[in-house]
């Protein structure tokens, strides 16, 4: 069985497990409550921030949250198939297609952080403090000469989507690189990808939330070598499944959850999460920043990376959501 067949088989198994879990969830929801299925990227789920959000939200709402934690591409697929009522993801190009194809509505940007290129402490490729494009070009040269290894998520996640865009900007075709021995594909979540890179003394692209958690817990010793800046901004969005796409979707509860995420309480969870344990927040709240433009540079970066036609959600993709965009 080749690599692609293995990945496909794994995806089928995951889908069966998820669907079984959803059936159990739907059938066992406590009387007087409803269930909301949220398909979410691993970088939000694995950091633990959704645990705090879930606790705060459920304390005020008779709604049981259930998270499906997968890469962004599969998270979107679950919503398209009717397995989820909404998504929390971080791949604007894929999110736009989700809206355009009539599945998603009422997109709201909720938070951001940055991607980083991390690698061994001794940095054998010598990429520290280069720009992302310079670093990737150097890694190709060093990789082909046997001096460096790269580990890609390889799973159609938001991080993988960003990585592919960076390789393109650097002038390389990923379909060519993936056939070279120094370029490895993990086909798994961010945490496991970081651990694989650690084992191989390799480089990889990571979101900072997952990296900081794994670094603090001494699960990896990789160092940030290229970080922050406009090219590496990482924007998280919430999108409900529209009623026209799936009239069985729990639209009302999805909207209640999105409204919580953008509320002062929801945004404060992002603001504070991680500060005590890691010395910095793993995610930065985006709602007030985009309104006030208190940091115009970062606001411009978010808009350039994640707005569509000058808006986080153009009017044609809105459904009964006036208070979200007032």
Question: What 3 state SS string does 213-226 have?
Answer: HHHHCCCCCCEEEE
Distance of CA 203 to the CA centre of its chain: 19
Is the distance from CB of 257 to CB of 88 less than 8 angstroms? no
Is the distance from CB of 49 to CB of 273 less than 8 angstroms? yes
Cβ-based neighbours of 95, under 8 Å, separated by 6 or more: 76, 89, 104, 107, 237, 239
Give the separation between CA 86 and CA 128, rounded to whole angstroms.
Answer: 39
Hey, how many other C-beta atoms are within 10 angstroms of the C-beta on 310?
Answer: 7
Give the separation between CA 176 and CA 264, rounded to whole angstroms.
Answer: 46
Give the separation between CA 192 and CA 83, rounded to whole angstroms.
Answer: 25
Domain boundaries, the chain: 3-113+236-324, 114-232
Give the separation between CA 140 and CA 183, rounded to whole angstroms.
Answer: 9
- Each residue's pLDDT expressed in tens, for the chain with a length of 326 residues: 444 444 444 444 444 444 444 444 443 444 568 999 999 999 899 999 999 999 999 999 999 999 999 999 999 999 999 999 999 999 999 999 999 999 999 999 999 999 999 999 999 999 999 999 999 999 999 999 999 999 999 999 999 999 999 999 999 999 999 999 999 999 999 999 999 999 999 999 999 999 999 999 999 999 999 998 899 999 999 999 999 999 999 999 999 999 999 999 999 999 999 999 989 999 999 999 999 999 999 999 999 999 999 999 999 999 996 789 97
pLDDT computed for residue 259 by the predictor: 97
pLDDT computed for residue 5 by the predictor: 42
Q: Looking at the domain covering 114-232, what would its CATH class be?
A: alpha beta
Please tell me if the domain spanning 3-113+236-324 has the same topology as the one spanning 114-232: yes
pLDDT computed for residue 198 by the predictor: 98
Is the distance from CB of 326 to CB of 261 less than 8 angstroms? no
Coil, helix or strand at residue 38: strand
pLDDT computed for residue 290 by the predictor: 97
CB burial class (10 A; 0-12, 13-18, 19+) of residue 307?
A: middle
Give the separation between CA 72 and CA 86, rounded to whole angstroms.
Answer: 12
Is the distance from CB of 79 to CB of 40 less than 8 angstroms? no
Is the distance from CB of 87 to CB of 108 less than 8 angstroms? no
pLDDT computed for residue 3 by the predictor: 42
Q: Which helix (H) or strand (E) holds 267?
A: helix 264-272
Give the separation between CA 139 and CA 144, rounded to whole angstroms.
Answer: 8
What's the pLDDT tens digit per position in 230-277? Answer: 999 999 999 999 999 999 999 999 999 999 999 999 999 999 999 999
Residue corresponding to tokens 């290229």: 226
Distances (CA, A) of 268 to 15, 212, 213, 272: 34, 19, 19, 6
Fold of 3-113+236-324: D-Maltodextrin-Binding Protein; domain 2 (3.40.190)
Give the separation between CA 196 and CA 205, rounded to whole angstroms.
Answer: 12
Query: Radius of gyration (Cα) for the chain, nearest Å?
Result: 20
């Amino acid at each position: 069985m080749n690599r692609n067949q293995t990945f496909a088989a794994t995806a089928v198994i995951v889908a069966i497990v998820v669907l079984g879990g959803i059936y159990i969830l739907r059938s066992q929801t406590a009387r007087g409550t409803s269930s909301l299925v949220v398909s979410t990227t691993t970088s939000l789920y694995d950091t633990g921030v959704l645990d705090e959000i879930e606790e705060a939200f459920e304390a005020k709402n008779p709604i049981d949250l259930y998270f499906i934690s997968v890469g962004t591409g599969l998270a979107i697929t679950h919503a398209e198939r009717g397995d989820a009522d909404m998504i929390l993801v971080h791949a604007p190009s894929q999110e736009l297609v989700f809206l355009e194809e009539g599945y998603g509505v009422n997109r709201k940007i909720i938070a951001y952080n940055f991607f980083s290129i991390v690698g061994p402490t001794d940095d054998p490729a010598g990429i520290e403090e280069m720009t992302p494009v310079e670093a990737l070009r150097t890694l190709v040269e060093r990789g082909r000469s046997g001096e460096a290894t790269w580990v890609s998520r390889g799973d159609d996640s938001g991080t993988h989507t960003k990585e592919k865009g960076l390789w393109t900007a650097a002038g390389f075709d990923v379909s060519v690189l993936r056939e070279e021995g120094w370029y490895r594909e993990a086909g798994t979540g961010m945490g496991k990808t970081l651990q694989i890179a650690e084992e191989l003394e390799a480089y990889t692209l990571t979101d900072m939330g997952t990296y900081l958690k794994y670094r603090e817990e001494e699960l990896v010793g990789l160092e940030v070598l290229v970080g922050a800046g406009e090219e590496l901004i990482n924007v998280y969005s919430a999108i409900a499944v529209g009623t026209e796409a799936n009239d069985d979707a729990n639209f009302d509860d999805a909207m209640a959850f999105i409204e919580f995420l953008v509320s002062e309480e929801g945004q404060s969870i992002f603001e504070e999460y991680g500060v005590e344990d890691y010395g910095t927040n793993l995610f930065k709240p985006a709602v007030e920043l985009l309104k006030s433009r208190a940091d115009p540079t970062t606001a411009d970066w978010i808009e350039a990376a994640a707005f569509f036609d000058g808006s986080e959600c153009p009017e044609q993709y809105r459904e009964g959501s006036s208070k979200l965009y007032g």
